[in-house]
Amino acid sequence: MPKKAKFVVIVGSVISGVGKGTFSASLGSVLKLAHGLNVAPIKFDGYLNFDAGTLNPYRHGEVFVLEDGTETDLDLGSYERMLNQNLTKDNYLTAGKIFKTIIDKERKGDFLGRDVQFVPHVTDEIKKYIRALGEKRQADIVLVEVGGTVGDIENSYFLEAMRLLALEEGKGNVCFINVVYILEPGSLGEQKTKAAQLGTQRLMSLGIQPDIIVCRGERPINNSTREKISQYSNVPEERVMGLHDLDNIHKVPIVLKKVGIDKEVLKILEVENGEEKREFDKWAKLVDMMDASKKKITIAIAGKYTGLHDSYISILKSLEHTAPYYGAKVEVKWIETTDIQDAKQAAEALKGMDGLIVPIGYGSRGAEGKVACVQHARESGLPFLGLCYGFQMAIIEFARNVCGLKGANSTEVDENAKEPVVDILPEQKKIEGLGGTQRLGAHEVEIKANTHAHKLYGSATAMERFRHRWECNPKYIPLLEKHGMVFSGKHPKYDIMQILELPKHPFFFATQFHPEYTSKPLEPNPVYRGFIETCVKGR
DSSP-assigned beta bridge partners for residue 462: 445
Which one is catalytic: 121, 419, 516, 535? 516
Concatenating the DSSP letter of every residue in 360-397 gives ---SSTTHHHHHHHHHHHHHHT--EEEETHHHHHHHHH
Q: Do residues 206 and 159 touch, judged by C-beta distance below 8 A?
A: yes
Residue 516 catalytic?
yes
Using CA atoms, how far apart are residues 317 and 54, in angstroms rounded to an integer? 23
**Nearest in space to 94 (alpha carbons), one of 138, 60, 137:** 60
Residue 125 catalytic?
no
Give the three-state DSSP class for 215: strand
- Count Cα atoms within 13 angstroms, Cβ side, for 156: 9
Element at 134 (helix H, strand E): helix 123-137
Using CA atoms, how far apart are residues 264 and 259, in angstroms rounded to an integer? 10
Q: Do residues 530 and 456 touch, judged by C-beta distance below 8 A?
A: yes
Concatenating the DSSP letter of every residue in 317-343 gives HHHHHHGGGGTEEEEEEEEEGGG--SH
Contacts of 339 (CB under 8 A, 6+ apart): 345, 369
Contacts of 134 (CB under 8 A, 6+ apart): 3, 4, 5, 7, 40, 142
Contacts of 333 (CB under 8 A, 6+ apart): 298, 299, 300, 301, 353
Residue 422 DSSP label = E
Which one is catalytic: 250, 468, 505, 514? 514
Which one is catalytic: 373, 388, 403, 535? 388
**Max Cα–Cα distance, the chain, nearest Å:** 75
Work out the angle at residue 240's Cα, subtended by the Cα atoms of residues 26 and 217, and round it to the nearest 5 degrees. Answer: 65
Q: Do residues 471 and 477 touch, judged by C-beta distance below 8 A?
A: no
DSSP-assigned beta bridge partners for residue 398: none
The set of catalytic residues is: 388, 514, 516
